[in-house]
Structure 1
Amino acid sequence: MELEPDQVSHTQDFRQLLVDLAKHQDKLLFMQLYDYFSPRIKSFLVKKGAAAELAEELVQETMLTVWKKAASYDPEKATASTWLFRIARNLWIDRLRKEKPDLLSPLSVYPETGYTPNLDVCDSGKIKSALDSLPLQQAQLVYKVYYEGKTHREIADDMGMPIGSVKSGLRLAFDKLRFRMGGES
């Protein structure tokens, strides 16, 4: 996808805004970021499954983190939106882990295989044992998909792998998990 010239300058503006925020701790700069990104982050979190009230709370936490950690933003590594949305996503994942530590829903259905484990016989120990039995790379793929909430493309970029290798690695991992969890192969 190619950006239009006004989108490129807009992206550069937010990068510079974050850099300036880190240098000057200017409340007006922060409000510009807040006004633009808070509704977008809230919508993103609601689409991820957060209730509206929780999404609003996470937006506040995200923006507070941005205020406190703006100095850690590196415009060479990410756009402003990528950096902010990653903070929001990480806070959402942290909240899920805190409130529902045995949350099984990420492993309940894997769309490419159609596998749905019998949750009556699954327990966190059995799941952990099954995940531990995977080769390291396959375990990393499963972790990135279900616990970091990354897309196949993001995983490919993170791990320096072709996207096809990510998909086939996940298929292999889920075949092994299905077998270990007592499902049909």
Structure 2
Amino acid sequence: MSTNDPQPKTAEDWAAEMAAVSRCGDRDSFMRIYDHFFPRVRLYLRGQGSPEAVAEELAQEALLRLWQRAGMFDSGRGSLATWLFRIARNLHIDRLRQERYWVALPEGAEPAEDPPDEPYSRAESYADHVDLARRIERLPATQARLIRMSYFEAKSHSEIAAELGMPLGTVKSGLRRAFLKLQVEVCGGAA
């Protein structure tokens, strides 16, 4: 709840905010939705087992999809919260399916065998790494740096913002734009 809006919003209030987003791309309405729901969606995703950085990324993706698909929202079929949390849940499930080969080891467990001395045990893995490195190099310098800091240095969005002296929203939007450019390049223009 923002300081300018002392009364909690009802489902009808949120539906009206979404109507404004859908009808005319109202950024103020979207930011009210974002400010209210982002922490709740992130907390929900944490409760589903996502690490903090992943939960933050998925919550941001859920709200981006809300913006992109605002015209699909139908208040007659359910509340904005229900719709948004369903989007977040689906993103979480998609992420788990992509990473299904990851298995959490119990506390104190040791891996069955030592990792290989070489960072890439297969030619395909190395080729993928080289391809990704080349695509990152083709990004604008700031976006490439944000990608490296976020994924290769495992820094949170907040840490990146502090280190670079950038607003947190700028870091997040810069990462989002970088991902979209990488995705467009991989998918041959179909983002």
So what's the TM-score if we normalise by structure 2? 0.48
| TM-score, scaled to structure 1 | 0.50
Greater share of helix: 1
Which structure has more relative contact order (CA 8 Å, sep 6+)? It is: 1
